[in-house]
Chains A and B, each alone.
Chain A
Amino acid sequence: MASDTIIQVRNLWYRYRDDIVALKGVDLDIGAGDFVAVIGQNGSGKTTLVKHFNGLLQPASGQVLVGGHDTRKVGVGALARTIGFVFQNPDHQIFCATTREEVAFGPRNLGLAGEELDGRVEEALHRFGLVELADSPPAVLGFGMRRKISVASVYAMRPRVFVLDEPTTGLDWRNSMSLMDTVRSMHEDGHTIILVTHDMKLVCEFAQRSLVLRDGGILAYDDTREIFKRSEILKETGIEPPQIAELSKRMMSYGMPDDVLTVDEFRAAYVGIGRSLR
């Protein structure tokens, strides 16, 4: 995890209309290069919080700093250079006649042209496996492909931070894993990833840190492994840990560790126990 902070949130309050308080004094630091999962029940404030990161929402009070800049003083367009926001539904952004044009739309808005634009578009198409579909109309492709195009079109803008709002909703497991593997490779390249999701398997598989929200406030913000050790937090937010983590906990009397998060970790621990039992 990198040490410098890319997003700072200070005493952030936000209200929808006058009566619905969506965020209640949130304080948060997200380090450059982190992979953070934002989890919590519906209405806990997840999307409201992350929409502050690229200026789509402005604080009612408090402050959000991105790369040291106050989001109230920088427009959404300028923040898009730093924060790439992938919306939940790819159809909310797809409008171009070809996939290539769709991927090029964001970089063109940033003023790119010529070789640099072409290079970015080609690289994004390659990275997301879209080269074959570059000249196809994106709107008529399958949902999985439309989802990839929506991420690729943000990726081509080369933001330092990616905010992914429930990116795997509506995708089957294979498509989810394919997309998340690409996201992981982006993280390995140094991008900061902020993943809003209800899928705890994804959280355990990919996120280093987890931010648990409840009723517009932060319930916990820690390493994912630590979060999933704390059953009281999971119970309070109604979060079900992945089955493999639950199974591991139930096998603690056989020597299984209490912080297993993934099938691979379980397998490694289980093989170790098997050896010791023999």
Chain B
Amino acid sequence: MSLTFDLYVARRSWAHRVDPRVKLLFVVLGAVTMILFSNLLFMVAALAAVHLLTASAGTPRDRFSWVWRAMLPVNVLIPLLWTVFYPEGEVLFRVWVLRFTPLALARGLAVAARLDTIALICFFWLFTTDQMSIVRSLVKVGMPFEWGLVLAISLRYLPTIYGLYNVVADAQRARALDVSRGNIVTRLKSYLPILVAMLISALRTADQLGKALESRALGLEGVERTSLHEISFSKVDYLIAAWLVIAFAGAVVLRALGLFTHPWYPLA
């Protein structure tokens, strides 16, 4: 998965059928909601809920383990650093000048769980939405088509650029280039033949691609571009979007009431 740069999991689940704009709305409102609250219990419940949601979209187990591996530094460092640098409340034990308090640990765990949840919300979107649908949805919500095309081409060319790096590196190694020799400066310098050759190739490709797109009438003045695959809201999409907005409004009310803002006590 790490080499494809495409996290999409091709399935026929309910989540895949939902309009990508609704999923984008979920990402935005979900992330804002997570920032509104600070309670550990709330964070863990939200994390579990997003897990269930993502699993119900047919996401394979290895994607979950990939997410957790990616988030491991966050989950270790944030609770640890928070406990060490922001002690508050009753002290559990002391080591040298450091004070360890349950409240700081809870706050650190809550922050880590918040980031995990936001990450998983984003991954839910990426696991269930193919790259072109992502671009289409962004264009539909107001991004200029040219920007969307640039994004789509960038995503499309990431694996190509990675493949190009491998081929160019092989070609230079075949000419006895050794990038593993010497100190850090020497090593960095020895990457120049690879990077310059890559840059020249990439520029050449970009130039050819630009000409190819232009010769296929991209950017023709006076013509409104049509789309082969139109995305449109279904009844279910409207219902989900409405539910998301209502749920978010409820979250704002809870926040205004001061609930789920204490790390330990949900109703404090």
Contacts and interface: CB of A to CB of B under 8 A. Distances in A.
A33 B168 CA distance: 29
B91 interface: no
A149 interface: no
Contact of A87 (B171, B177, B192, B204): B171
A76 B197 contact: no
B176 A95 contact: no
B60 interface: no
B167 A92 contact: yes
Contacts of B200: 91, 94-95, 139
Contacts of B196: 95
A105 B193 CA distance: 9
A93 interface: yes
24 contacts: A51-B170, A76-B173, A76-B174, A77-B176, A87-B167, A87-B170, A87-B174, A89-B167, A91-B200, A91-B201, A92-B164, A92-B167, A92-B197, A92-B201, A93-B168, A93-B172, A93-B175, A95-B193, A95-B194, A95-B196, A105-B177, A106-B176, A109-B177, A157-B176
A85 B170 CA distance: 10
A92 B176 contact: no
Contacts of A81: 176
Given A92-B201, A94-B197, A95-B200, A77 B170 contact: no
- Taking residues whose C-beta sits less than 8 angstroms from the other chain, chain A's interface range is 20 to 34
Interface residues of B, number: 20
Contacts of B168: 92-93
Contacts of B175: 80, 93, 105-106, 109, 153-154, 157
Task: Pick the 6 closest A-B CB pairs, nearest first.
Answer: A109-B176, A95-B196, A85-B174, A106-B175, A80-B176, A95-B197
A56 B173 contact: yes
A119 interface: no
A248 interface: no
A89 B197 CA distance: 11
Interface in A117-168: 139, 153-154, 157
B88 interface: no
Contacts of A85: 171, 174
Contacts of A110: 176
A54 B204 CA distance: 28
A75 B173 CA distance: 10
Nearest to A153: B175
Contact of B178 (A75, A87, A89, A94): A75
A93 B168 CA distance: 6
Interface string B176-202: 111000000000000011101100110
B197 A91 contact: yes
B223 to A, nearest CB: 35
Contacts of A76: 173-174, 176
Interface in A57-102: 75-77, 80-81, 83-85, 87, 89, 91-95
Interface of B: 164, 167-168, 170-178, 192-194, 196-197, 200-201, 204
A83 B175 CA distance: 9
Interface of A: 51, 54, 56, 75-77, 80-81, 83-85, 87, 89, 91-95, 105-106, 109-110, 139, 153-154, 157
A93 B171 contact: yes
Contacts of A83: 174
Nearest to B199: A95
A121 to B, nearest CB: 14
Given A54-B174, A91-B200, A95-B196, 11 more contacts: A56-B170, A56-B174, A75-B178, A76-B173, A80-B173, A80-B176, A84-B174, A87-B170, A92-B197, A105-B193, A153-B175
Contacts of B204: 91
A54 B172 CA distance: 12
A208 B259 CA distance: 84
Nearest to B202: A91
A161 to B, nearest CB: 12
A170 to B, nearest CB: 13
B222 to A, nearest CB: 36
Nearest to B205: A91
A257 B204 CA distance: 48
A93 B169 CA distance: 8
Nearest to B201: A91
A77 B197 contact: no
Contacts of A75: 178
B111 to A, nearest CB: 38
Nearest to A150: B171
B178 A95 contact: no
A51 B173 CA distance: 12
